[in-house]
Amino acid sequence: MALRKKDKPIKKPKPIIGKVDVADMPMFNLKKVNVKIDSGAYTSTIHCSVIEKTDKGLHVVFLDENESGYTGESFYFQEYEKKKVRSSSGQMQLRYIIQGNIVLFGKKHSTEFTLSNRELMRYPVLLGRKLLSNRFMIDTTLSNESYKYIKQE
């Protein structure tokens, strides 16, 4: 790594992400999922067609049959939290939170996801500041920058 005069490492420029993108979520076996960048949201959110507590744990089915990347696969989480979150409409909701990861610009990023029914929304996944901060620059005039980067490799 090149050094400055004061022996401080030169920071690598952050990737520029657009307003929307397409990403893989390996922990959930999801590929080519449409995501929206939401710098107004603190945590990231993923649409689930099923969210229910069972004897096996928190039962979740990600996305629904209308969404790109949908598999219909059931997941059971033993580790999860519940938290009050302000929705886009301003209402407080009690949501489950799980740990997951997402691949952007060819790199896997771990983050929290709140689970929500977003069937009426255009994008099934929102990426919030907790994931975006200190990792990406946002340019809302661009789209699918991570997806284009992956296709070039």
pLDDT digits (tens, 9 = 90+) for 12-32: 889 999 999 999 999 999 999
Residue 142 binned pLDDT confidence (cut-offs 50, 70, 90): very high
pLDDT tens for residues 76-130? 999 999 999 887 778 898 999 999 999 999 999 999 999 999 998 999 999 999 9
pLDDT score, position 13: 87
Residues in CB range of 144: below 8 A, 6 or more apart: 18, 20, 21, 22
Q: Is the pLDDT of residue 3 over 60?
A: no
State the pairing for strand pair 20-25/30-37. Answer: antiparallel
State percent of the chain over pLDDT 70: 94
Into how many domains does the chain fold? 1
What is the per-residue pLDDT for 90?
A: 81
**pTM recorded for the entire structure:** 0.88
11 is a domain residue: no
Domain annotation covers residue 10: no
Whether 26 is covered by a domain: the verdict is yes
Under the banding of pLDDT at 50, 70 and 90, the label for residue 2 is low
Do the domain assignments include residue 6?
Answer: no
Rounded to whole angstroms, how far apart are CA atoms 6 and 122? Answer: 49
| Residue 70, domain CATH | 2.40.70.10
Q: Is the residue at 62 inside a domain?
A: yes
Q: Residue 92 domain-assigned?
A: yes
Cα separations in angstroms, 35 against 1, 23, 76: 33, 7, 23
**Tokens describing residue 149:** 């980067």
Question: What domain range includes position 111?
Answer: 16-152
| Domain contains 9 | no
Q: Is residue 4 part of a domain?
A: no
